Structure 1
Amino acid sequence: MNNIVFIVNEHAGNGLGKKVWRKWRETIDFPHTVYMTEREDHATEIAKKCAESTDDLLLVGVGGDGTIHEIILGIVGFEHVRVGIISAGSGNDFGRTFYVFHTLKDLKEVAHSNSHTKMDIGTVNTPNSEYKFVNNAGFGFDAKVVYLANYSVWKSRLNLFRLGKLAYILFLIKELLTFKTFSFTLHNKDEVTRYDDVWFFVICNQPFFGGGMKISPDSIPNDQLLEMTVVNKLSRWKLLFIFGTVFFGKHTKFKEVKQYQSSDFNMVIHDKVYGHVDGEFSCITEKDIAYSCSIEAHAWNLANR
Structure 2
Amino acid sequence: MKTYVIYNKKSNNDQGAKGAFRIKEIWTQKELVYKEVNEFDTYQELFDSISPDDEVVVCGGDGTLNFLVNEIDCDSIENRVYYYPTGSGNDFWTDIGKSAEDGPALINDYLVRLPSVIVNGMTKKFINGIGYGIDGYCCEEGDRQRTKAGDKPINYTSIAIKGLLFHYKPTRATITVNGETHVFDKAWLAPTMNGRFYGGGMMATPDQDRLNTQRTVTTMVMYGKGKIGTLAAFPSIFKGEHVNKTKIVKTFVSNRVKVAFDRPVALQIDGETVLNVREYEVITAE
Q: TM-score, normalised by structure 2?
A: 0.85
| Distance 1:116-1:101 versus aligned 2 partners, 3 A rule | farther
| Distance 1:125-1:4 versus aligned 2 partners, 3 A rule | same
User: Equivalents in 2 of 1:50, 1:126: separation in Å?
Assistant: 29
Asked if 1:245 corresponds to 2:232, the answer is: no
Deviates more, 1:258-267 or 1:73-82: 73-82
Asked if 1:52 corresponds to 2:48, the answer is: yes
Following superposition, the deviation at residue 280 of structure 1 comes to 1.5
State the match for 1:135 in structure 2: 128
CA contact (8 A) 2:139 2:271 kept: yes
| Distance 1:52-1:98 versus aligned 2 partners, 3 A rule | farther
Larger RCO: 1 or 2 (CA < 8 Å, sep 6+): 1
CA contact (8 A) 1:183 1:196 kept: yes
Deviations 1:132-169 (A, max 9, x none): 21000021111011111123257634x34xxx133x24
State the match for 1:279 in structure 2: 271
Following superposition, the deviation at residue 227 of structure 1 comes to 0.2
State the match for 2:75 in structure 1: 77
Count of aligned residue pairs for this structure pair: 278
Q: Which amino acid aligns with 2:57?
A: V
Asked if 1:147 corresponds to 2:140, the answer is: yes
Identity of matched residues, %: 23
Q: Which amino acid aligns with 2:30?
A: F
- 1:96 is aligned, of 87, 94, 97, to 94
Deviations 1:185-241 (A, max 9, x none): 222122111222111200001111111111100111122110000011112122222
Q: Which runs of 5+ in 1 are unaligned?
A: 298-305
Following superposition, the deviation at residue 179 of structure 1 comes to 1.0
CA contact (8 A) 1:183 1:195 kept: yes
User: Equivalents in 1 of 2:66, 2:99: separation in Å?
Assistant: 17
State the match for 1:261 in structure 2: 253
CA contact (8 A) 1:120 1:222 kept: no
User: Equivalents in 1 of 2:90, 2:280: separation in Å?
Assistant: 28
Following superposition, the deviation at residue 291 of structure 1 comes to 3.1
State the match for 1:61 in structure 2: 58
Following superposition, the deviation at residue 282 of structure 1 comes to 2.4
State the match for 1:186 in structure 2: 175
State the match for 1:303 in structure 2: none
User: Equivalents in 1 of 2:98, 2:241: separation in Å?
Assistant: 26
Alignment of 1:155-174 (within 5 A): 156-157=149-150, 159-160=151-152, 164-166=153-155, 168-174=156-162
DSSP-derived class of the 2:260 partner: strand
User: Equivalents in 1 of 2:238, 2:101: separation in Å?
Assistant: 27
Q: Which runs of 5+ in 2 are unaligned?
A: none
Q: TM-score, normalised by structure 1?
A: 0.81
User: Equivalents in 2 of 1:236, 1:242: separation in Å?
Assistant: 10
Q: Which amino acid aligns with 1:94?
A: F
Asked if 1:32 corresponds to 2:32, the answer is: yes
Q: Which amino acid aligns with 1:278?
A: D
CA contact (8 A) 2:69 2:125 kept: no
Superposed CA RMSD in Å reads 2.7
Deviations 1:7-36 (A, max 9, x none): 111222123322222332356443333221
